[in-house]
Amino acid sequence: MPRHKAAPAATTLIENVSIGPVTADDLVHVTKLDARITGTAKPDYWNRLFEGAKADPPTQVFLVAKCEARLIGFIVGEIRAWEFGSAPCGWIFAITVEPDARLASIGSRLFDAVCARFRDAGVTKVRTMIARDSQLILSFFRSQGMMAGPFVELEKDLDE
Amino acid sequence: MKLQIATRHALFAILELASQPDRQMSAAEIADKYELSPNHLAKVLRTLGRAGMVEASRGVGGGYRFCGNAKRLNLLDIIAIFEPIGPTAAGAREAGDDTREGQALRQVLNEIEDSTRATLSSITVDTMLKLVRRTPAEGATQRKAAGAR
């Protein structure tokens, strides 16, 4: 039976956490944190998202959570219009929280912060896409009130 | 998708108990709210107790209490105690399975089952309680529908 026993009391990290835009100095920590969680280092990818957020902050959002100067999480999103026939909406591409800082609402604060940016930019809908077997991250977005949307993701192996 | 009666009893019991985790509730109290058979619910609660999701205390003022982690326990964890949720292929071979048509049909059914499992396993008890709070009460829904006519 997976993880149904009561967890130890969540840390009270939340009061010491600040959320703000990513800086160039944060990128190495973002890359390391992501690589530890996903097993793949993608410095160029994070750098490209950083440059995008720097160039167009109203529509490209890259925020980090820090606790006493230590980076403990980040979220990346962007407002896109008319792709797949959709009216402008906010997309969340990535969210990660340090495993030892989870269950302290850091992810929720990052999610709320990016949604606030989207709202300020005038969009009323937020979307994301998650692998079906990523149960933890799916649960996180569900806990934020996200439900299945009207689109179906389809794919095909090109060597068929 | 239709859930078995025992599964629905279990889900209602867990949601009711988890909504007031500091309170002990009797099977009769829960059965009354959801119009369930108290005897059937008592059996289901014993099963949930063996699974470590609820605790029972006997005597005056006794009853059941939720003892899981509402942010980690998900709907699939609860449902899987009472009924299988795909893949149906596990061990049970069906006529036509070995044909290309049978395999193609299996692919489509697997897609549906994978999606069902992903949905159920991503919704925790805590998320369900949030959904419940956002859902208008039945009377309010009916009044709204009547007002719209």
Instruction: Give the count of Cβ contacts less than 8 A between chain A and B.
Output: 58
Q: In chain B, how long is the greatest CA-to-CA distance?
A: 63
Give the global pTM: 0.84
Q: In this structure, what token pair is assigned to residue A2? A: 């997976």
Among B77, B79, B122, most A C-beta atoms within 10 A, so best to mutate, is B122
Predicted complex ipTM exceeds 0.95 = no
Sequential pLDDT tens for chain B (149 residues): 899 999 999 999 999 999 999 999 999 999 999 999 999 999 999 999 999 999 998 777 779 999 999 999 999 999 999 998 876 545 678 899 999 999 999 999 999 999 999 999 999 999 999 999 998 887 655 655 555 54
Identity at B30, one-letter amino acid code: I
Question: Strand A126-128 to strand B63-66: parallel, antiparallel, or no bridges (unpaired)?
Answer: unpaired
Indicate yes or no: CB of A143 within 8 angstroms of CB of B130: yes
Using a CB-CB distance cutoff of 8 angstroms, which residues of chain A are in contact with residue B127? 139, 142-143
B122: nearest CB among A3, A7, A138? A138
CATH topology of domain A17-144: Aminopeptidase (3.40.630)
A1 touches chain B (CB under 8 A): yes
A4: nearest CB among B52, B115, B134? B52
Indicate yes or no: CB of B123 within 8 angstroms of CB of A139: yes
Where do the domains of chain B lie, and which CATH numbers do they carry? 5-85+124-134 (1.10.10.10)
A103 → chain B, closest CA residue = B71
Among B1, B50, B71, most A C-beta atoms within 10 A, so best to mutate, is B71
How crowded is residue B52: how many other Cβ atoms within 10 Å of its Cβ? 13
The per-residue pLDDT for range A121-132, each reduced to its tens digit, is: 999 999 999 999
Closest CA to B121 of A3, A149, A136: A136
Please report, for residues A10, A153, B102, B121, the alpha-carbon distance to residue B114 in angstroms, rounded to integers and kept in the order given. Answer: 32, 14, 18, 10
